[in-house]
Amino acid sequence: MKIGVVGSGGIGGTIGTLWAKAGHEVFFSSRNPEKLTDLVATAGANARAGTIAEAAAFADVIFLAVYYWTTDEAIAACGNIDGKILIDATNPYLLENGKPQRVPDISAALELAAKVPQVHVVKAYNTLPTATFANEAHRRDPYALFYCGDDTAAKATVAQLIMDSGFTGVDIGDLIQVIHQEPGGVLYNHPMSVAEAQKLVPSLV
Protein backbone atom coordinates (compact mmCIF):
# COMPACT_ATOMS: atom_id res chain seq x y z
CA MET A 1 0.00 0.00 0.00
CA LYS A 2 1.23 3.52 -0.78
CA ILE A 3 0.68 5.74 2.25
CA GLY A 4 1.28 9.48 2.48
CA VAL A 5 1.79 10.73 6.02
CA VAL A 6 0.80 14.39 6.39
CA GLY A 7 2.25 15.57 9.65
CA SER A 8 5.23 13.44 10.67
CA GLY A 9 5.46 14.24 14.37
CA GLY A 10 4.65 11.90 17.25
CA ILE A 11 1.65 10.07 15.85
CA GLY A 12 2.48 10.39 12.16
CA GLY A 13 6.10 9.41 12.57
CA THR A 14 5.33 6.51 14.88
CA ILE A 15 2.49 4.97 12.88
CA GLY A 16 4.22 5.60 9.56
CA THR A 17 7.29 3.76 10.85
CA LEU A 18 5.16 0.79 11.95
CA TRP A 19 3.62 0.65 8.47
CA ALA A 20 7.00 0.91 6.72
CA LYS A 21 8.39 -1.92 8.84
CA ALA A 22 5.29 -3.97 7.91
CA GLY A 23 6.17 -3.60 4.23
CA HIS A 24 4.09 -0.63 3.09
CA GLU A 25 5.54 2.21 1.04
CA VAL A 26 5.43 5.28 3.27
CA PHE A 27 5.98 8.87 2.17
CA PHE A 28 6.49 11.13 5.19
CA SER A 29 5.82 14.83 4.78
CA SER A 30 5.69 18.07 6.71
CA ARG A 31 6.11 21.78 6.17
CA ASN A 32 9.83 21.19 6.75
CA PRO A 33 10.65 17.88 5.02
CA GLU A 34 14.38 18.50 5.32
CA LYS A 35 13.98 17.76 9.05
CA LEU A 36 12.70 14.21 8.41
CA THR A 37 16.04 12.58 7.55
CA ASP A 38 16.39 10.77 10.87
CA LEU A 39 12.77 9.56 10.76
CA VAL A 40 13.25 8.07 7.30
CA ALA A 41 16.44 6.35 8.44
CA THR A 42 14.61 4.84 11.41
CA ALA A 43 11.65 3.73 9.31
CA GLY A 44 13.90 1.95 6.85
CA ALA A 45 14.05 1.16 3.17
CA ASN A 46 10.31 1.50 2.55
CA ALA A 47 10.24 5.14 3.66
CA ARG A 48 10.98 8.44 2.00
CA ALA A 49 10.15 12.08 2.70
CA GLY A 50 9.14 15.21 0.83
CA THR A 51 6.51 17.89 0.62
CA ILE A 52 2.87 17.45 1.56
CA ALA A 53 1.83 17.76 -2.08
CA GLU A 54 4.31 15.05 -3.09
CA ALA A 55 3.11 12.70 -0.36
CA ALA A 56 -0.55 13.21 -1.28
CA ALA A 57 0.10 12.62 -4.99
CA PHE A 58 2.07 9.45 -4.19
CA ALA A 59 -0.51 7.96 -1.84
CA ASP A 60 -3.48 5.67 -2.14
CA VAL A 61 -4.10 6.34 1.56
CA ILE A 62 -3.39 9.64 3.31
CA PHE A 63 -2.74 9.65 7.05
CA LEU A 64 -3.62 13.06 8.47
CA ALA A 65 -1.78 13.52 11.76
CA VAL A 66 -1.52 17.28 12.20
CA TYR A 67 -2.68 19.69 14.87
CA TYR A 68 -6.40 20.36 14.54
CA TRP A 69 -5.82 24.07 14.01
CA THR A 70 -3.60 23.37 10.98
CA THR A 71 -6.02 20.98 9.25
CA ASP A 72 -7.22 23.44 6.62
CA GLU A 73 -3.66 24.39 5.73
CA ALA A 74 -2.62 20.75 5.47
CA ILE A 75 -5.58 19.76 3.26
CA ALA A 76 -4.96 22.74 0.98
CA ALA A 77 -1.30 21.72 0.67
CA CYS A 78 -2.34 18.21 -0.43
CA GLY A 79 -3.98 19.44 -3.62
CA ASN A 80 -6.65 17.31 -5.27
CA ILE A 81 -7.19 14.13 -3.23
CA ASP A 82 -10.68 13.22 -4.48
CA GLY A 83 -11.32 9.48 -4.38
CA LYS A 84 -8.54 8.72 -1.93
CA ILE A 85 -8.84 7.27 1.55
CA LEU A 86 -7.98 9.73 4.30
CA ILE A 87 -7.35 8.45 7.82
CA ASP A 88 -8.09 11.30 10.21
CA ALA A 89 -6.09 11.10 13.45
CA THR A 90 -6.76 14.68 14.56
CA ASN A 91 -8.53 15.74 17.72
CA PRO A 92 -10.31 19.08 18.22
CA TYR A 93 -7.94 21.03 20.44
CA LEU A 94 -6.78 24.63 20.07
CA LEU A 95 -3.88 26.38 21.77
CA GLU A 96 -4.88 28.91 24.40
CA ASN A 97 -2.11 30.62 26.34
CA GLY A 98 0.25 27.96 25.12
CA LYS A 99 -1.88 25.07 26.39
CA PRO A 100 -4.13 22.75 24.34
CA GLN A 101 -7.81 23.26 25.10
CA ARG A 102 -10.60 21.06 23.82
CA VAL A 103 -13.04 22.72 21.43
CA PRO A 104 -16.54 21.88 22.75
CA ASP A 105 -19.33 20.54 20.55
CA ILE A 106 -17.02 19.97 17.57
CA SER A 107 -16.11 16.76 15.75
CA ALA A 108 -12.87 17.08 13.84
CA ALA A 109 -13.81 14.17 11.55
CA LEU A 110 -17.32 15.37 10.69
CA GLU A 111 -15.98 18.85 10.07
CA LEU A 112 -13.25 17.47 7.80
CA ALA A 113 -15.61 15.17 5.87
CA ALA A 114 -17.87 18.11 5.07
CA LYS A 115 -14.91 19.98 3.59
CA VAL A 116 -13.72 17.09 1.37
CA PRO A 117 -16.93 15.33 0.30
CA GLN A 118 -15.23 13.33 -2.47
CA VAL A 119 -12.69 11.83 -0.08
CA HIS A 120 -13.29 8.63 1.93
CA VAL A 121 -12.68 9.83 5.48
CA VAL A 122 -12.09 7.17 8.13
CA LYS A 123 -11.43 8.17 11.73
CA ALA A 124 -8.68 6.12 13.41
CA TYR A 125 -5.50 6.35 15.47
CA ASN A 126 -6.85 9.22 17.57
CA THR A 127 -7.84 7.36 20.74
CA LEU A 128 -4.46 6.27 22.14
CA PRO A 129 -1.38 8.31 23.10
CA THR A 130 1.82 8.28 21.08
CA ALA A 131 3.69 6.33 23.76
CA THR A 132 1.20 3.47 23.51
CA PHE A 133 1.63 3.27 19.75
CA ALA A 134 5.40 3.45 20.07
CA ASN A 135 5.88 0.98 22.90
CA GLU A 136 2.94 -1.43 22.84
CA ALA A 137 2.35 -2.39 19.22
CA HIS A 138 2.18 -6.11 18.39
CA ARG A 139 1.27 -7.20 21.92
CA ARG A 140 0.25 -10.81 22.41
CA ASP A 141 -3.18 -9.44 23.39
CA PRO A 142 -3.32 -6.37 21.12
CA TYR A 143 -5.07 -3.19 22.11
CA ALA A 144 -8.32 -2.36 20.37
CA LEU A 145 -8.07 0.55 17.96
CA PHE A 146 -11.41 2.10 17.08
CA TYR A 147 -12.36 3.34 13.64
CA CYS A 148 -15.46 4.58 11.85
CA GLY A 149 -16.44 5.84 8.41
CA ASP A 150 -19.12 5.80 5.74
CA ASP A 151 -17.36 3.77 3.02
CA THR A 152 -17.17 0.01 3.56
CA ALA A 153 -14.20 -0.59 1.28
CA ALA A 154 -12.22 2.27 2.81
CA LYS A 155 -12.88 0.92 6.30
CA ALA A 156 -11.70 -2.53 5.25
CA THR A 157 -8.42 -1.02 4.03
CA VAL A 158 -7.98 0.87 7.30
CA ALA A 159 -8.75 -2.26 9.34
CA GLN A 160 -5.92 -4.06 7.55
CA LEU A 161 -3.53 -1.16 8.16
CA ILE A 162 -4.46 -1.17 11.84
CA MET A 163 -3.60 -4.87 12.02
CA ASP A 164 -0.35 -4.30 10.15
CA SER A 165 0.64 -1.63 12.69
CA GLY A 166 0.22 -4.05 15.57
CA PHE A 167 -3.28 -3.39 16.87
CA THR A 168 -6.75 -4.81 16.24
CA GLY A 169 -9.38 -2.63 14.63
CA VAL A 170 -12.84 -2.35 16.14
CA ASP A 171 -15.45 -0.84 13.81
CA ILE A 172 -17.90 1.45 15.60
CA GLY A 173 -20.02 2.19 12.54
CA ASP A 174 -20.69 5.19 10.33
CA LEU A 175 -18.76 8.43 10.73
CA ILE A 176 -21.56 9.96 12.79
CA GLN A 177 -20.52 7.58 15.60
CA VAL A 178 -17.19 9.42 15.88
CA ILE A 179 -18.55 11.37 18.86
CA HIS A 180 -17.74 8.29 20.96
CA GLN A 181 -14.20 8.19 19.63
CA GLU A 182 -13.13 11.83 19.90
CA PRO A 183 -12.37 13.76 23.13
CA GLY A 184 -15.23 13.50 25.59
CA GLY A 185 -16.34 10.15 24.18
CA VAL A 186 -16.19 6.93 26.15
CA LEU A 187 -13.67 5.39 23.73
CA TYR A 188 -11.18 8.26 23.84
CA ASN A 189 -7.93 7.67 25.74
CA HIS A 190 -9.14 4.46 27.37
CA PRO A 191 -6.86 1.61 26.29
CA MET A 192 -8.75 -1.67 26.31
CA SER A 193 -8.54 -5.18 25.00
CA VAL A 194 -10.50 -6.29 21.96
CA ALA A 195 -12.82 -8.37 24.18
CA GLU A 196 -13.58 -5.34 26.34
CA ALA A 197 -14.15 -3.18 23.27
CA GLN A 198 -16.50 -5.67 21.65
CA LYS A 199 -18.62 -5.76 24.80
CA LEU A 200 -18.81 -1.97 24.98
CA VAL A 201 -19.37 -0.91 21.37
CA PRO A 202 -22.88 -2.41 20.86
CA SER A 203 -24.18 -0.21 23.67
CA LEU A 204 -23.03 2.90 21.82
CA VAL A 205 -24.70 2.31 18.47
- pLDDT of 92 reads 94
> What is the pTM for the complete model shown?
0.96
pLDDT of residue 128: 96
What per-residue confidence (pLDDT) applies to 57?
98
Mean pLDDT of 163-179: 97
Q: What is the pLDDT of residues 1-31, one digit of tens each?
A: 999 999 999 999 999 999 999 999 999 999 9
Per-residue pLDDT of 134-154, as tens digits, reads 999 999 999 999 999 999 999
Q: Domain locations in the chain? A: 2-203
Q: How far apart are CA 81 and CA 59, in angstroms?
A: 9
Long-range contacts of 40-49 (CB under 8 A, 24+ apart): 42/17, 43/16, 43/17, 44/17, 44/20, 46/20, 46/21, 47/16, 47/17, 47/20, 49/8
Tell me the C-alpha distance between 146 and 126, whole Å: 8
pLDDT of residue 205: 75
129-130-135-136 Cα dihedral, nearest 10 degrees:
40
Kindly list the distances between the CA atom of residue 1 and the CA atoms of 18, 70, 80, 99, 178, in Å, as whole numbers in the listed order: 13, 26, 19, 36, 25
Domain made up of 2-203: CATH architecture: 3-Layer(aba) Sandwich (3.40)
Q: What is the pLDDT of residues 67-126, one digit of tens each?
A: 999 999 999 999 999 999 999 999 999 888 777 888 888 999 999 999 999 999 999 999
Which pLDDT score is estimated for 182? Answer: 96
3-state secondary structure at position 45: coil
